[in-house]
Structure 1
Amino acid sequence: MPGIMDIKRKIKSVQNTQKITKAMKMVSAARMRKAEEAMNDARAYANKIYELCCNMAEKVDSESHPFLAQKAEVKNICLAIITSDKGLCGAFNSNVLKKTTAFIKEHEGKNIKFVMVGKKGNDAFGKRGYEVLEKYITFGGRITYEEAGEIGDKLVDYYLNEEVDEIYTIHNEFKSTSVQVGKVTKVLPLAFEAPEVAAADGAVDYIYEPKADVLLKEIMPRYINFTVFFAVLESIAGEHGARMIAMDNASRNAGDLVRKLELQFNKARQAAITTEILDIVNGAEALNG
């Protein structure tokens, strides 16, 4: 059995760790609220620009537009992997890494290239011999639309220069504070599904100036940039939610461990007291004898 002082040091160490996990939980809770607000504010714009692009895509020849034309043969695929820069967030990053591994197996024989958004994804796949086109690992859990636009512009350039035939993003979709689900989204070439419209209203018909095909060339890069931006916002909100839950569980586990160590400490102290009493009694009997 460990000595009393050893157990006392362990209790102190676990209590110090518990203070850190509780503080990290509070920080993550505050950051998650801000990240969730930013994500919800962006959702309306994301839905509207998607609806607008769907409408314009129906009015142009998809085969003649570089963003809509489906490739006859796909050889090179680019994966934009969105993970966190830091750990201590449970299974948050492993969800994305598992989705990525499954995607690679499903597309065996294709040349997979990566754009890394987040340090953890780069650590996992950057050292396995895959070609990494770009690295964005310094956001630190924050991103602006301009920064996301740089990523989107790079993806568009790689696609238009025919360095890749398809582009996908893999990130955690924010469902709730405790639920983040790995999601694979095809970015290019775009394949829109017509938005649901109430039968009484009929199909939405816009009047475009200039023509839809000209406007589409201007809108598409913005749509792609905002798709990347919204995916990163979802990932950031999910990261803070996952870290908050992980730190709450760690604090609870630390509390349980402290209680077990305190029980062990009390037993050791009682055993030491009993031993001392026996030594005193035996010494007294020896003197009397």
Structure 2
Amino acid sequence: MAGIKEIRTKIKSVQNTSKITKAMEMVAASKMRKAQDRMRAGRPYATKVREIAAHLMQANPDYTHPYMIERPELRAVGIIVVSTDKGLCGGLNTNIMRLVLARMKEFEGKGAKTQYTALGNKGLGVLTRIRANLVSQEVQLGDTPNLERLIGAVKVQLDDFVEGKVDAVYLATNRFVNTMRQEPSFIRLLPLPSGLADPFQLESDNQGADANQIKSEYGWDYIYEPDSKTVIDELLLRYVEGLVYQAVAENMASEQSARMVAMKAASDNAKKVIGDLELVYNKTRQAAITKEISEIVGGAAAV
């Protein structure tokens, strides 16, 4: 009977785990819808800022912002790694960190140094374990991206690019495709693509440098103050910050989608395990009853 008791205890344990995973699946589904809405709501802002900045630069071709200057050689690279603060979301963090480590080896193989900014606790943990050159970090981002918290960590990389300490800045994040699919993406943030082509669109479509550019057949002009240089500087800074915000928003939507799928799979597996355990329990119980009956019959026959 000890075997029966152990099986019964294990069934109860798996049932309790199934209740937890089912609850986490429902919570993730609720958060996923809100995260997707925030992600989609942020896209028009970045698009409009990009259009205005592109039109201003077309109207003022003599001025080139530092964010647009291409460096002839990559001697140092800054990488902003966007990950989640919590686990239980399938292979989401594993996939993005595998991509980051592959690119790190690629850059270091070409003689370029790398420095990192970690946005999210899971990425920070991996970068700390491999003793990467970590220049800034921001963790415990919550369920809603907060640009004010992100600016401080990201500005370290932006300032290093302007000062020439790094020759390019890349952004590693999970791009949300749909509920069942999230793609790890490695996007060049700085220098910005010519014509201010959307780097997310370029990465997803795998097209050339002229894809999705802002083009105009006539000159654009705006009424602005104090001068075009100041306005372009401010717009491009806001645009880069908007790209980082969008990357974090997409990663959060990916996180909740991946967690919902992972918890649903865990709940389904728990049901399967419970069914197998109940079958073993019934067979063990039946064998024990048969054995007891045989002993009683054998004892009666002996008497």
Please, what TM-score do these two structures have when normalized by structure 1? 0.91
Q: Give the aligned partner of residue 32 of structure 1.
A: 32
**Residues 1-289 of structure 1 aligned to structure 2 (within 5 Å):** 3-60=3-60, 64-107=64-107, 108=109, 109-191=111-193, 192-193=196-197, 195=212, 202=217, 205-207=220-222, 209-210=224-225, 211-287=227-303
Q: In the aligned structure 1, how far is the partner of 2:47 from the partner of 2:77?
A: 26
Equivalent pair of 1:167/1:188 in contact (CA under 8 Å): yes
Provide the rounded CA distance (Å) in 1 between the counterparts of 2:18 and 2:218. 57
Q: How well do the aligned residues superpose, as a CA RMSD in angstroms?
A: 2.2
1:30: Cα distance to partner?
Answer: 0.9
Please say if residues 63 and 70 of structure 1, whose CA atoms lie closer than 8 Å, have aligned partners that are also in contact.
Answer: no
CA shift, 1:124, in A, is 1.5
Once structures 1 and 2 are overlaid, which stretch shifts more, 229-238 or 48-57? 48-57
Measure the CA separation in 2 of the matches of 1:178 and 1:204: 44
SS for the counterpart of 1:87 is coil
Deviation at 1:33, TM superposition (A): 1.0
Measure how far apart 1:70 and its partner are.
0.9
The answer to whether the 8 Å contact 2:93/2:122 transfers is yes
Give the paired residue count: 285
1:253 Cα shift? 0.3
* Structure 2 CA distance for aligned equivalents of residues 69 and 61 of structure 1: 13
Q: Does the 8 A contact of 1:96 with 1:170 survive in 2?
A: yes
Structure 1 pair 62/163, CA: closer, same or farther in 2 (3 Å)? farther
Distance 1:236 1:2 in 2: 47
Partner Cα distance (2:56, 2:46) in 1: 16
- Which secondary structure does the structure 2 equivalent of 1:140 belong to? coil
User: Is the Cα contact below 8 Å between 2:135 and 2:156 reproduced in 1?
Assistant: no
- Where structure 1 has 5 or more consecutive residues not aligned to the other structure, the ranges are none
What is the TM-score of this pair, normalised by structure 2?
A: 0.87
Post-superposition offset of 1:103: 1.3
Supply the distance in 2 between the matched residues of 1:286 and 1:203 (Cα, whole angstroms): 110
SS in 2 for 1:3: helix
Q: Partners in 2 of 1:69 and 1:196 — Cα distance?
A: 17
Displacement, 1:188?
Answer: 1.3
- Offset at residue 197 of structure 1 (A): 7.1
Aligned amino acid, residue 182 of structure 2: Q
Paired with 1:161 and 1:202, the residues of 2 have a C-alpha distance of: 35
Distance of 1:153 and 1:113 partners within structure 2: 13
Instruction: Give me the whole-angstrom Cα distance separating, in 1, the residues matched to 2:177 and 2:16.
Output: 33
Report what 2:205 is aligned to. none
Contact 1:197 1:203 (8 Å CA) reproduced? no
The one-letter code sitting in structure 1 at the alignment partner of 2:85 is: D
Deviation at 1:196, TM superposition (A): 5.8
Question: Structure 1 pair 78/197, CA: closer, same or farther in 2 (3 Å)?
Answer: closer
> What amino acid is the match of 1:99?
L
Three-state SS of the structure 2 residue aligned to 1:67 is: helix
Asked whether the equivalents of residues 39 and 237 of structure 1 are also in contact (C-alpha less than 8 Å), the reply is: yes
The 10-residue stretch of structure 1 (165-174 or 93-102) with the greater mean CA deviation from structure 2 = 93-102
